[in-house]
Amino acid sequence: MQANLSKRINEILVLAVLERGPAHGYQIALAVEEETDGAFTFQHGTLYPILHRLEAEGLVTGAWQEGSRRRKTYALAPAGRAHLEAESSDLRAQFATLMGFLEGAARAA
Amino acid sequence: MRREQPLRRLDRVLRVPARSRLLLLEEIGADYEALLERLAARGVPEARARRLAARRLLPGRAARADLEAAYRTPLRRWLGQGITDATATALLVALTVALGSAGILAALWWPGPLRDAGAFSWLLAAVALPALANWGHGVARIVLEDDLRAERRVRLLGRHAGFAIAGLAVASLGVAWEALGLLTAFSASAPHGEALWSAVARVSTLGAIGLGVVAAGLLSWLLLVPKLLQYERTEARIRRVVEREPVTEVAR
């Protein structure tokens, strides 16, 4: 369950960054780290399996930019936007339940 | 630490099909350089920037395992986790050799000039079977991993050429031996028509088998050539990616 939750959070973080506009992988990693004050980080290249999985599932699209150095840019696909909305509300509900449970437990103690 | 060192290390340990390896290295290499530039622009010292960028972007063991799982070949995916690459390769080689052996044995036991060709045809079979195993090993790597790195390609082709030459040598020796026997028989007395025909058939059959072994070796090699050329081109591009000069001079 923990691995599944971690996977869902990582995916939602990536999709949320891409909701603002296309980005390179390193930009996504930096944005997540900086905007969560380091609470969430993608270390040791863990970002790439997530990006490639999301791309394979059609939630994001990857495009190569030609130039002196080829770079890959990711953008949110329509399916990804719908997935982000559904997952966000689902996670919000789960966390609200969790917080309610913890507060109840604290009061009982 | 130079930029290409971590990428080269990643290239060495990442076990995904050659084409996917190229794309991953291009993507990660470009991100790595861009992040270095970004950190350098923020005044982060170069050595620290490299450590930070490497820690964020270069796939560790877990990320590599995820990538390798995502980019498995169809056969590898079909085989699942239960069978290791080594086992699957061994099974494919064994299957190739079994099929080849069945064909060779059938040809050698079937009444006709092949069976009459004598010990040299068995020697040729002894050369053909390991050649078949070598070829099967190459094919297994290609269908299982869709990758055959340079050192493996060289070993595969080197052995393949060696077996072809050995086949030709054994056949030549056989032809010479049979021809010598024929000449000796001629010099002693005029041979009977049937004996003469039998000796000529043995010589010509051995020659034909020898040429056949070499032709089969060439054809089987030609079957692999398009894939091997594709790997060669992909690896040339990978070399350009990993050997690229660092572009973080701004950090100096």
Inspect the interface and report whether the beta carbons of B56 and A29 lie closer than 8 Å.
yes
CA torsion through residues B205, B207, B209, B215, sign: negative
Inspect the interface and report whether the beta carbons of A26 and B64 lie closer than 8 Å.
no
| Cα–Cα distances in angstroms (integers) from residue A70 to residues A26, A65, A75, B19, B63, in the given order | 14, 6, 16, 15, 22
Inspect the interface and report whether the beta carbons of A45 and B28 lie closer than 8 Å.
yes
B53 CA to chain A: closest CA distance, Å?
A: 9
How many CA within 13 A on the CB side of residue B221? 18
Q: Which residue of A has its CA nearest to B240?
A: A69
Q: Which residue of B has its CA nearest to A57?
A: B70
- Residue A14 phi/psi, 5° resolution? -65, -45
- Mean pLDDT, rounded, of chain A: 92
Per-residue confidence in pLDDT tens, chain B, 252 aa: 454 478 888 999 999 999 999 999 999 999 999 999 999 999 999 889 988 999 999 999 999 999 999 999 998 888 887 788 888 889 989 998 899 888 888 877 777 666 666 677 788 888 888 998 999 999 999 999 999 999 999 999 999 889 888 888 888 888 888 788 778 777 776 666 777 777 777 778 777 877 887 788 888 888 999 999 999 999 999 998 888 755 444 333
Inspect the interface and report whether the beta carbons of B31 and A30 lie closer than 8 Å.
no
Domain ranges in chain B are 2-76+238-250, 82-236
Inspect the interface and report whether the beta carbons of B59 and A72 lie closer than 8 Å.
no
CA-nearest of B135, B163, B128 to B228 is B135
Q: Which residue of A has its CA nearest to B56?
A: A43
Q: What is the ipTM of this complex?
A: 0.89
Residue with tokens 């130079």: B2
- pLDDT tens digits for A24-80? 999 999 999 999 999 999 988 999 999 999 999 999 999 999 887 899 999 999 999
B33/A contact by beta carbon, under 8 A: yes
Inspect the interface and report whether the beta carbons of B59 and A29 lie closer than 8 Å.
no
| Cα–Cα distances in angstroms (integers) from residue B148 to residues B98, B127, B199, in the given order | 24, 24, 45
Count Cβ atoms within 10 A of the Cβ of residue B135 and give its class: 0-12 exposed, 13-18 middle, 19 or more buried.
buried
| Cα–Cα distances in angstroms (integers) from residue B203 to residues B46, B107, B128, B170, B210, in the given order | 74, 17, 19, 13, 11
Q: Which residue of B has its CA nearest to A33?
A: B56
Find which of B24, B57, B248 to mutate to test the A interface (most A CBs within 10 Å of its CB): B57
